[in-house]
Amino acid sequence: MTEETIPSFAELSLAPAIFKVIDEVGYETPSPIQAQSIPPLLEGRDLLGQAQTGTGKTAAFSLPLLSRLDPKLKAPQILVLTPTRELALQVAEAMQTYARHLPGFQVLPVYGGQNMGQQLRQLQRGVQAVVGTPGRIQDHLNRGTLKLDRLACVVVDEADEMLKMGFIDDVEQILEHTPAEKQTALFSATMPKEVLRVARRHLNDPVEIRIKSKTATVDTISQWYWQVKGLHKLDALTRILEAEEIEAMIVFARTKIATVELAEKLEARGFSSAALNGDMTQVMREKTIERLKNGSLDIVVATDVAARGLDVKRISHVVNYDIPYDTEAYVHRIGRTGRAGREGKAILFVAPREKRMLSAIEHATRQPIKPMSLPSRKDITDRRIGLFKEQIAETMESEDLEFFEELIDNYQSEYDAGHRRIAAALAYLVQKERPLVPEDIPAEKPRESREPAPPRERNQGGGEAGMQRYRIEVGRDNGVEPRHIVGAISNEANISSRHIGAIKLFNTFSLVDLPDDMPPEVFDLLKKVWICGQPMKISVDTGGKNSDRPGKHPARKPFKRTEDHKRFKAGGKKPPYDRRGPKKK
């Protein structure tokens, strides 16, 4: 299957509820492994797939299996075995996203080190998909707490990693517990004989798929990554545009909607930019590319599909604003620069939870991607001053300035001002709208500091000054302790523990204070975090009357004075109830 023959997602017969999500997020064309895996998995065929990490395997099996799932059946229908906790969480999160229009769908990640009680409660409530590591899955099978009698499909992901970690025998034992009539898919980057033995024993006439990774990257491209931390990606991109020697740039975003939004924001910040995506007509696309070629446009924000075949020699930089889902896409993206032997620079924005994909890209390309620091205020100042001097020199060479020279001489004699002072005033006026020394460059926050935190001042609302109180929907009933909350937030969102304020635990929820200048991107990241096997569903705490915190009571009914109360007021016996109702004996 060549790049030109890869179908669109619309041609793959996915269930309407699943395709709706694909359409909403703006995915356009499946990766090679998705295009080859989805049709046979939709048909119920077994599948043996050889593909590297980072080729889009999760969607390759999740989309078709979720399309065949019965959301009304509250029993495990899909079982995915993964070698690590990180991959289990990643797969579970992806499945939850893809199934968001399936009513009542629940997926449970299970792995060692997680609260067992919480897993047991969720299994009892009923889940349709279980994603976990072999050891903890076996534990549940031995306890009888995981029933697989209604299982429709099992997926073994990264089987060769299972072998390296000593899990392959556990995988076989788990497969022995599954129904004979089921669908099985096994994915592995390599096919050692032990993995092939498992495939021969447990797969029935499988469709075999082998995805060859095109890992060649151009030697003239220098590759860098910036770890997203404490600063909006848009601000980071703005700094790069301000300080780098850029001729033209292509910025890759994951969805069509994101290309339009980002292009508009860059345009508002004074950069010549335009979107390039699959919703554009061929005429509009060609016009945008022509503008990029002739220099009337400097930045194109594009999706992977829209950038196919894009060959513009003046592109000096490629920025992966959103990390690609597979390594093939990364190689294709950065290949838009470094053309015709020219030097190019590729920059990758990586959130803390995306480090796994960064490693996969480095492994697939066999090239290290170096960490970078964002340009400082001084870097941007130096760049602006350099451009200002170039503008002066160009104007002196190309323009007839005789009229203005006479004007300055006239001003000097009339106001007894020196040429140096006049030139400084004119320079100030020229740069007034965009100062040469920027004042609005926020500092890039360090990831960690070993210095003790200064005492924090409390604000009037009970939280700490400079902090915002958030509510998370996990509490003591879920086995949650403060250390779980601190660990989840600091690990998943890269927020140092010293920046996490007061934590209050209640039975069904908890409250946590976080910096009030937390970027929206970090808040969006926290919305996806799980604690003790439960999505924490973070939201700004409103402290409303519907809160179930201890000491809070529902709105009281109007007090009606009774005959007993009247007698009490007159000196009689105290009534056996107060305005909240009868006292408990």
DSSP conformation letters of 98-162: HTTTSTT--EEEE-TTS-HHHHHHHHHH--SEEEE-HHHHHHHHHHT-S--TT--EEEE-SHHHH
Confidence of residue 442 (pLDDT cuts 50, 70, 90): low
Q: Answer for the pair 301, 251: CB distance below 8 angstroms, yes or no.
A: yes
Is the pLDDT confidence value at 545 over 50? no
Determine the pLDDT at residue 464.
56
Strand partners, 108: 130
Handedness of CA 363, 365, 371, 374 (dihedral sign): negative
Residue with tokens 């403060």: 482
Domain assignment present for residue 177? The answer is yes
pTM across the whole model: 0.50
Strands ordered across the beta sheet of 47-50:
107-110, 129-132, 78-81, 153-156, 183-188, 47-50, 207-210
Of 115-124, 222-231, 438-447, which gets the smallest average pLDDT? 438-447
Domain assignment present for residue 576? The answer is no
Specify the higher pLDDT residue, 6 or 20: 20
Q: Distance between CA atoms of 80 and 133, rounded to whole angstroms? A: 9
Can you give the CATH number for the domain in which 23 is found?
3.40.50.300
Determine the pLDDT at residue 582.
46
Q: Return mean pLDDT, the chain.
A: 82
Q: Please tell me whether residue 178 adopts helix, strand or coil conformation.
A: coil
Determine the pLDDT at residue 216.
53
Other CB atoms within 10 A of residue 84 CB? 15
Determine the pLDDT at residue 340.
66
Q: Distance between CA atoms of 461 and 516, rounded to whole angstroms? A: 13
Determine the pLDDT at residue 555.
40
Strands 47-50 and 183-188 come out as parallel
What is the Cα 331 distance to its own chain's centre?
20
Specify the higher pLDDT residue, 269 or 18: 18
Confidence of residue 558 (pLDDT cuts 50, 70, 90): very low
* pLDDT tens for each residue of 155-170: 999 999 889 888 899 9
* pLDDT tens for each residue of 376-422: 777 778 888 888 888 888 888 888 998 998 898 889 888 888 888 88
Strand partners, 193: none
Domain assignment present for residue 399? The answer is yes
Is the pLDDT confidence value at 154 over 90? yes
Q: Please tell me whether residue 39 adopts helix, strand or coil conformation.
A: helix
Strand partners, 203: none
Q: Are residues 271 and 246 in the same domain?
A: yes
Determine the pLDDT at residue 560.
46
Q: Are residues 414 and 473 in the same domain?
A: no
Q: Distance between CA atoms of 32 and 11, rounded to whole angstroms? A: 14
* pLDDT tens for each residue of 175-186: 999 999 999 999
Tokens encoding 518: 């937390």
Q: Which range of residues forms the domain containing residue 351?
A: 221-375
Distances (CA, A) of 381 to 194, 269, 345, 437: 60, 17, 22, 5
Domain assignment present for residue 449? The answer is no
Q: Are residues 97 and 149 in the same domain?
A: yes
Q: Are residues 301 and 198 in the same domain?
A: no
Q: Distance between CA atoms of 561 and 580, rounded to whole angstroms? A: 12
Q: Are residues 365 and 387 in the same domain?
A: no
Determine the pLDDT at residue 26.
65
Confidence of residue 465 (pLDDT cuts 50, 70, 90): low
- Mean pLDDT within 192-214: 89
Tokens encoding 334: 């950065």
* pLDDT tens for each residue of 81-102: 998 887 888 899 889 989 999 9
- Mean pLDDT within 52-64: 84
Confidence of residue 576 (pLDDT cuts 50, 70, 90): very low
Q: Distance between CA atoms of 233 and 321, rounded to whole angstroms? A: 7
End-to-end CA separation in angstroms for the chain: 78
Confidence of residue 547 (pLDDT cuts 50, 70, 90): very low
Q: Are residues 203 and 238 in the same domain?
A: no
Domain assignment present for residue 134? The answer is yes
Determine the pLDDT at residue 188.
92
Q: Are residues 345 and 385 in the same domain?
A: no
Of 241-250, 439-448, 552-561, which gets the smallest average pLDDT? 552-561
Q: Distance between CA atoms of 229 and 350, rounded to whole angstroms? A: 9
Of 65-69, 187-191, 435-439, which gets the smallest average pLDDT? 435-439
Domain assignment present for residue 386? The answer is yes
* pLDDT tens for each residue of 514-535: 888 788 888 888 888 888 878 8
Q: Are residues 258 and 274 in the same domain?
A: yes
Confidence of residue 40 (pLDDT cuts 50, 70, 90): very high
Total domain count, the chain = 4
- Provide the percentage of residues in the chain whose pLDDT is more than 70: 83
Q: Are residues 390 and 278 in the same domain?
A: no
Determine the pLDDT at residue 215.
54
Q: Are residues 22 and 83 in the same domain?
A: yes
Range among 250-254, 267-271, 412-416, 541-545 rated most confident: 250-254
> Which of 189, 210, 231 is the C-terminal boundary of a domain?
210
Nearest to 263 by CA among 213, 297, 307: 297
- Mean pLDDT within 271-288: 88
Specify the higher pLDDT residue, 563 or 403: 403
